[in-house]
Amino acid sequence: MDVDKQIAALQADLNAAHHITYLTGAGVSTPSHIPDYRSKNGIYNGISESPEQILSEETLFHQPAKFHHFVMENMYFPDAKPNIIHQKIATSCNKNGTLITQNVDGLDKKAGNKHVIEFHGDLYNIYCTKCHEKISYDSYKKSYLHEKDQGIIRPGIVLYGEPINEKVLTKSVEKIHDSDLVIIAGTSFVVYPFAQLLAYRQANAKIWVVNNTPVPAPKEVSTIIENAEKVFDKLYI
């Protein structure tokens, strides 16, 4: 089937769906100029340490300057704007859907999406690890130490080795289970436990993948191998 026919088939499923769950990853934010850190040309290139090593509690607490420098240089893009994918998913979710995203950039909320589950947290939910006070991005940008108590400041994202918040996990499973349509976009879908969410789908739910490279998925999944931005641009939501 050519891509236009596939998009038409996805459109028909969208029109018929009662509750939709979207699962998204870095590929949804690359059109907003946020680099995909897991891709070959991602932000970790040229850095001798792996992302697993740097984005860990170990580095956060024992080499806080390195951690801070890394996230400021490579992860924060406060001027980034939502693109057509964020916007259309927001419109769809505000009607009858939920988004579960791996992205920590906050662009879905910026797009006005009121039903977002941030599976790996939010870069802008910044707090002091000593007193748990909320810290503004502007303060965190200046220093990783809380002036008041010298506590180390961190972003509320799930670091490598940390578990997914239990409430987030439970809510995600519920939403997948309640959906008759699941659309996976802009993710290679290999990050555990995010990739396992699909196991909780209804037996008769329609599943679509929109990604520029093939994704490991069960055979009943319909796949559109195309740039997610091009596909969402053509969808009527």
The residues of the shown chain that bind Zn ion, judged by CB under 5 A, are 128, 130-131, 146, 149, 151
Task: Reply yes or no on whether 18 is catalytic.
Answer: no
Return d(Cα 129, Cα 151) in angstroms, integer. 6
Nearer to Zn ion, 19 or 130 (CB): 130
To the nearest whole angstrom, how small is the minimum distance from the Cβ of residue 205 to Zn ion?
45
Return d(Cα 98, Cα 107) in angstroms, integer. 15
To the nearest whole angstrom, how small is the minimum distance from the Cβ of residue 152 to Zn ion?
9
Q: Which residues contact 34 (CB under 8 A, 6 or more apart)?
A: 26, 77, 80, 103, 105, 107
Return d(Cα 144, Cα 159) in angstroms, integer. 16
To the nearest whole angstrom, how small is the minimum distance from the Cβ of residue 73 to Zn ion?
24
Residue 14 in contact with residue 20, Cβ under 8 Å?
Answer: yes
Residue with smallest beta-carbon separation from Zn ion: 128
**What six digits make up the tokens of 75?**
């992860």
To the nearest whole angstrom, how small is the minimum distance from the Cβ of residue 120 to Zn ion?
24
User: Of residues 86, 115, 120, 146, which has the active-site annotation?
Assistant: 120
Residue 212 in contact with residue 230, Cβ under 8 Å?
Answer: no
Nearer to Zn ion, 125 or 223 (CB): 125
To the nearest whole angstrom, how small is the minimum distance from the Cβ of residue 153 to Zn ion?
8
Residue 173 in contact with residue 197, Cβ under 8 Å?
Answer: yes
**What six digits make up the tokens of 10?**
């996805």
Nearest Cα to Cα of residue 185 among 235, 123, 122: 235
Residue 82 in contact with residue 88, Cβ under 8 Å?
Answer: no
Just list the catalytic residues: 120
